[in-house]
Amino acid sequence: MTLGQTRTAAIPTIKRLPLYLRSLRDLQVQGEAFASSAALAKELMLDPIVVRKDLAITGVVGTPRRGFPVDALILAIMEFLGWSNTTDAFLCGVGSLGRALLGYEGFQLYGLRIVAAFDANPDKIGTKEHGVKIFDVRKMPTMIERMHIQLGILTVPADAAQSAANTMIAAGIRGIWNFTPVKLEVPDTVVIQRVDLASSLAVLSHRLAAQAAGCPLSPG
């Protein structure tokens, strides 16, 4: 992804953009040149007004009756999300989740390339995992600086999360994709996005149990 975009949009719109991208790529594969907002809305089960409003932020203009030009819209969304160029990221913590993410090829679609991984375990240092080399975590700061890495993926154990984040930030990382359950304390200039599998599973387990017992969930 490329940093330095100036346009902005509401979070729900940004979250829907990957959905449009997927539908548009399907249409592209099928050889369709145009996509109507009504058809996109129907496929994604959204209100057509929402679709038109969301896509307006790309600046791509539709043609009456035909809709939006598919190729141009794909490029514009990729550009908007900063996914048209590849961003290099470091991953810190090659435990079971870290290894899993290193093996996830889907990130390439989003312009994310994990170029190196770090761990404190001497048995792991120097080895490769899914083609990505694992370095001594003590080398992370100098490598962040030298390679101008701006994005870090945090998959260390919870008790190491804040200190690993501090190390990343001190060396120049500006965004952290936080897969640990820890709520990180970071300066305002650093962006944190959290994916908490434990919380997600907790909510699922609890909703399943409440459903089984016939109890409505308390509003939250």
Q: Which is nearer to a copy of itself, 48 or 111 (CB)?
A: 111
**DSSP H/E element including 48:** helix 48-56
Q: Shortest Cβ distance from residue 75 to a copy of itself (Å)?
A: 16
Q: Shortest Cβ distance from residue 79 to a copy of itself (Å)?
A: 11
Place of tokens 């548009």: 24
Own/partner pairs, 1-7, CB within 8 angstroms, 24+ separation: 1/81, 1/82, 1/83, 1/84, 1/85, 1/86, 1/87, 1/110, 1/111, 1/112, 2/82, 2/84, 2/85, 2/87, 3/82, 3/87, 3/150, 3/174, 5/80, 5/82, 7/57, 7/80
Q: Shortest Cβ distance from residue 71 to a copy of itself (Å)?
A: 20
Q: Which is nearer to a copy of itself, 3 or 63 (CB)?
A: 3
Q: Which is nearer to a copy of itself, 22 or 133 (CB)?
A: 22
Q: Which is nearer to a copy of itself, 136 or 162 (CB)?
A: 162
Q: For residues 44 and 27, what is the distance between their CA atoms, to the nearest angstrom?
A: 13
Q: Shortest Cβ distance from residue 6 to a copy of itself (Å)?
A: 5
DSSP string for 52-82: HHHHHTTTPPPBTTTBEEHHHHHHHHHHHHT
Q: Which is nearer to a copy of itself, 138 or 215 (CB)?
A: 215
Q: Shortest Cβ distance from residue 11 to a copy of itself (Å)?
A: 3
